[in-house]
């Protein structure tokens, strides 16, 4: 059943046509993602679906009983509302329904043959079923915890940051579960754990969704259909993001095949037109008009096909860049770094080395200290203790506030401050328009002031500007925020091709998997781990560990309820245990000496340049793994021996 129908929608702002002849139908249970370039009309389409914006032409049809709600980019709250009150205010209808159900249940218990009461009870039960509101108080507590709002529940909402306020609004909506929920960039301001919870609840509660997102993993997990806004129209693809890519490729192949057929037809018609005698012109006006239509279509198709090819090639490229060289320059040497703020430990005893060509993603929960680490490396913050040794190299920095941009400058002034119209990009001398075209800026933007651009466009300018700098290390704080998917794929290409080192903070799992060869994982309470897994692999393993811990807890609880049988006590070590007990201490000591020797070599440029940094690092990693296994085995045997 269609909950929202849009018929022949046209939307025009002055001379800019965004949508033309658009038909769209959202069926119950569908989760539809809207994708497309920035400025193509995604948000406009969503607002028309909501009913908050009128189309220039066309019709919106929605049943009056259908509840349609949208997550605002900048939600507004009354000044006197606490976080908990703001959420409860949105749940008034559900809480009233719970009370009404309790009253009706009592009445039916005393008058169980009253058909009118039974019908009312059945209706209110169905309403609570649909919204899964039987255990509403428990759900409120869980949502507060998962969205990291529990500690703020008694604070005024207006005292929170913009991102935190948006989480309050999102929490209210997922608890309320309207018939149709519209979400514009729902994963903004959420860390990866919050996103996972949001995915879980949207799937489990069977929401009907229309959403815009640049998070491809989120789209792939959630969407049952993807619609792309292009050329003022919509193209629909079944399934998630991977399905969208596969079907788009098939569409491109089909379009290319149709174009070949069209060219053959056009050639035949052109031959007919050339041989046509004047006396037959009037009779064949329709056929002549068709020839002209074919000509126009033949001109457009190659551009459209090439555009689709470029987009698909960007998406389907290998997630990983080339392997680094064996001899690499040391950029940062971090030893026993500690940093806290207002009594909260953000980084504790963190040591690492960052080398030339490293591609490092800094990930983890919000507020754990990811951006703080970047600022410590940049020298903008001073550590409480520990050292950061920085080599002789240049850094390019991108932050969420776009500090390098001047709103009063035009794009041409921004890229050519000393005059002229050319820029140097990684050894190439390019016309500024040709360069900015690669970041999807049309020629007429050259004279636009930066202050006139949208947030996403400003981010594109800042990133484009960054790649004109001759630097050896890029440090990026949330570079994909406010970018559409096409721009993100362009950024990915640039970063993969970048020859220097890269450190970046991001929550975009696709982006991280494609770019990073190493992770710094902020676990909270000052703990920072290093990992060479992909981010997806790390998250999957972490989820398995959480599930295992939960299962162990359940099993332990069940066992404790039963009487434990008496165990037969072991009285001596087995042959293998005795052998390990005797030999492992010497083996462990030898491994420690060898690892110490390799670590000294890593600290000595003359040594690691001679032997090869990669070879030493790989040997050290192997020894560390063996050392860990032997140490665990020795402790296990020692525990058995001490139990006698």
The pLDDT of residue 209 is 97
Per-chain mean pLDDT for the chain? 82
CB-side exposure of 330: number of CA atoms within 13 Å?
17
The pLDDT of residue 405 is 85
pLDDT at 310 over 80: no
Q: Token match 């879980």: residue?
A: 200
Please, which pLDDT band fits residue 167 given cuts at 50, 70 and 90?
A: very high
SS3 content of the chain, % helix, strand, coil (to 5): 50, 20, 30
pLDDT at 321 over 50: no
Please, which pLDDT band fits residue 181 given cuts at 50, 70 and 90?
A: very high
Of 301-315, 346-360, 368-382, least confident by mean pLDDT is 301-315
Mean pLDDT across the stretch 96-123? 82
181 and 69 Cβ atoms separated by less than 8 Å = yes
SS3 at position 203: helix
CA 435 from centre of chain = 27
Report how far residue 173's alpha carbon sits from residue 182's, in angstroms, rounded to the nearest whole number.
Answer: 10
Mean pLDDT across the stretch 356-374? 91
What phi and psi values does residue 62 have, to the nearest 5 degrees? -140, 130
Instruction: Tell whether the torsion through CA atoms of 451, 457, 459 and 462 is positive or negative.
Output: negative
Closest CA to 316 of 160, 118, 110, 492: 492
The pLDDT of residue 326 is 36
The tens digit of pLDDT for each residue in 377-390 reads 999 999 999 999 88
The tens digit of pLDDT for each residue in 258-269 reads 667 666 666 666
Percent of the chain's residues with pLDDT above 70 = 82
Of 100-114, 180-194, 373-387, least confident by mean pLDDT is 100-114
Please, which pLDDT band fits residue 514 given cuts at 50, 70 and 90?
A: very high
Please, which pLDDT band fits residue 136 given cuts at 50, 70 and 90?
A: confident
370 and 505 Cβ atoms separated by less than 8 Å = yes
Specify the CATH number of the domain 330-542: 3.40.50.300
The pLDDT of residue 324 is 37
Mean pLDDT across the stretch 103-121? 81
The pLDDT of residue 11 is 94
Report how far residue 229's alpha carbon sits from residue 235's, in angstroms, rounded to the nearest whole number.
Answer: 7
Please, which pLDDT band fits residue 555 given cuts at 50, 70 and 90?
A: very low
Mean pLDDT across the stretch 507-513? 92
The pLDDT of residue 57 is 94
pTM summary value: 0.63
The tens digit of pLDDT for each residue in 600-644 reads 777 666 776 677 767 887 888 788 888 878 877 877 776 676 565
Please, which pLDDT band fits residue 280 given cuts at 50, 70 and 90?
A: very low
SS3 at position 320: coil
Please, which pLDDT band fits residue 302 given cuts at 50, 70 and 90?
A: low
The pLDDT of residue 91 is 84
pLDDT at 284 over 60: no
Mean pLDDT across the stretch 466-488? 88
Closest CA to 377 of 345, 350, 403, 402: 350
Please, which pLDDT band fits residue 118 given cuts at 50, 70 and 90?
A: confident
Mean pLDDT across the stretch 42-51? 94
328 and 472 Cβ atoms separated by less than 8 Å = no
Closest CA to 56 of 26, 33, 22: 22
The pLDDT of residue 303 is 56
Report how far residue 403's alpha carbon sits from residue 397's, in angstroms, rounded to the nearest whole number.
Answer: 10
Please, which pLDDT band fits residue 492 given cuts at 50, 70 and 90?
A: very high
Mean pLDDT across the stretch 483-499? 89
Report how far residue 381's alpha carbon sits from residue 472's, in angstroms, rounded to the nearest whole number.
Answer: 21
User: Token pair of 216, please?
Assistant: 């491809």
- CATH number assigned to the domain with residue range 1-66+179-239, chosen from the 4 options 3.40.50.300, 3.40.630.30, 3.40.50.2300, 3.20.20.190: 3.40.50.300
Report how far residue 239's alpha carbon sits from residue 462's, in angstroms, rounded to the nearest whole number.
Answer: 34
Phi-psi label, residue 560: left if phi above 0, alpha if psi -120 to 50, beta otherwise: alpha
The pLDDT of residue 513 is 93
Closest CA to 187 of 585, 506, 488, 459: 506
Mean pLDDT across the stretch 295-310? 60
Report how far residue 261's alpha carbon sits from residue 264's, in angstroms, rounded to the nearest whole number.
Answer: 5
SS3 at position 59: strand
Of 90-104, 283-297, 370-384, 405-419, least confident by mean pLDDT is 283-297
- Under DSSP, the state recorded for 35 is E
pLDDT at 100 over 70: yes
């Amino acid at each position: 059943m269609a909950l929202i129908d849009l018929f022949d929608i046209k939307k025009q702002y002055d001379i800019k046509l965004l949508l033309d002849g658009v038909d769209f139908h959202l069926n119950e249970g569908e989760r539809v993602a809207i994708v497309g370039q920035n400025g193509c009309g995604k948000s406009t389409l969503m607002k028309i679906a909501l009913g908050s914006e009128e189309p220039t032409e066309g019709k919106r049809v929605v049943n009056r009983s259908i509840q349609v709600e949208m997550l605002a980019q900048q939600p507004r709250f009354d000044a006197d509302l606490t976080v908990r009150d703001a959420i409860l205010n949105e749940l008034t209808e559900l809480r009233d329904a719970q009370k009404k159900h309790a009253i009706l249940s009592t009445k039916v218990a005393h008058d169980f043959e009253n058909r009118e009461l039974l019908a009312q009870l059945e209706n209110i039960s169905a309403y609570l079923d649909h919204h899964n509101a039987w255990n509403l108080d428990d759900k409120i507590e869980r949502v507060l915890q998962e969205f990291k709002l529990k500690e703020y529940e008694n604070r005024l909402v207006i005292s929170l940051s913009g991102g935190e306020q948006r989480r309050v609004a999102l929490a209210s909506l997922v608890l309320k579960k309207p018939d149709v929920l519209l979400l514009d960039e729902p994963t903004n301001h959420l860390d990866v754990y919050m996103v996972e919870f949001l995915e879980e609840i949207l799937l489990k509660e069977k929401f009907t969704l229309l959403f815009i997102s640049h998070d491809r993993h989120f789209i792939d997990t959630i969407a049952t259909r993807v619609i792309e806004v292009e050329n003022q129209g919509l193209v629909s693809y079944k399934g998630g993001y991977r399905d969208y890519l596969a079907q788009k490729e098939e569409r491109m192949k089909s379009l290319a095949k149709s174009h070949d057929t069209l060219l053959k037809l056009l050639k035949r018609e052109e031959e007919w037109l050339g041989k046509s005698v004047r006396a037959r012109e009037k009779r064949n006006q329709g056929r002549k008009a068709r020839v002209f239509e074919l000509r126009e279509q033949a001109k457009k198709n190659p551009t459209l096909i090439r555009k689709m090819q470029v987009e698909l090639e960007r998406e389907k490229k290998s997630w990983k860049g080339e392997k680094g060289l064996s001899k690499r320059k040391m950029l940062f040497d971090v030893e026993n770094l500690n940093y806290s703020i207002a009594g909260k430990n953000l980084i504790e005893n963190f040591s690492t080395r960052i080398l030339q060509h490293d591609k490092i993603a800094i990930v983890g929960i919000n507020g754990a200290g990811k951006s703080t680490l970047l600022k410590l490396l940049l020298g903008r913050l001073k550590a409480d203790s520990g050292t950061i040794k920085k080599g002789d190299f240049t850094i390019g920095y991108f932050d969420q506030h776009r500090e390098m941009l001047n709103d009063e400058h035009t794009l041409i002034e921004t890229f050519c401050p000393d005059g002229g119209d050319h820029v140097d990009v990684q050894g190439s001398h390019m016309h500024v328009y040709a360069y900015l075209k690669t970041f999807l800026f049309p020629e007429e933007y050259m004279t636009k002031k930066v202050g006139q651009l949208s947030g996403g466009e400003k981010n594109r300018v800042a990133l484009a500007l960054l790649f004109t700098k001759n630097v050896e290390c890029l440090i990026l704080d949330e570079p994909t925020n406010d970018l559409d998917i096409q721009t993100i794929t362009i950024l990915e290409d640039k970063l993969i091709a970048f020859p220097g080192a890269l450190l970046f903070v991001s929550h975009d799992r696709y982006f991280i998997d494609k770019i990073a060869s190493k992770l710094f994982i902020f676990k909270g309470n000052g703990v920072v781990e290093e990992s060479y897994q992909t981010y997806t692999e790390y998250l999957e393993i972490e989820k398995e560990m959480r599930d295992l811990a939960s299962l162990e807890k359940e099993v332990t609880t069940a066992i404790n309820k039963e009487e434990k049988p008496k165990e037969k006590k072991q009285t001596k070590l087995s042959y293998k245990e005795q052998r390990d007990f005797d030999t492992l201490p010497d083996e462990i000591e030898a491994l420690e000496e060898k690892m110490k020797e390799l670590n000294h070599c890593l600290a000595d440029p003359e040594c690691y340049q001679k032997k090869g940094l990669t070879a030493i690092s790989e040997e050290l990693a192997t020894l560390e793994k063996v050392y860990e296994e032997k140490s665990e085995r020795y402790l296990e045997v020692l525990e058995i021996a001490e139990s006698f």
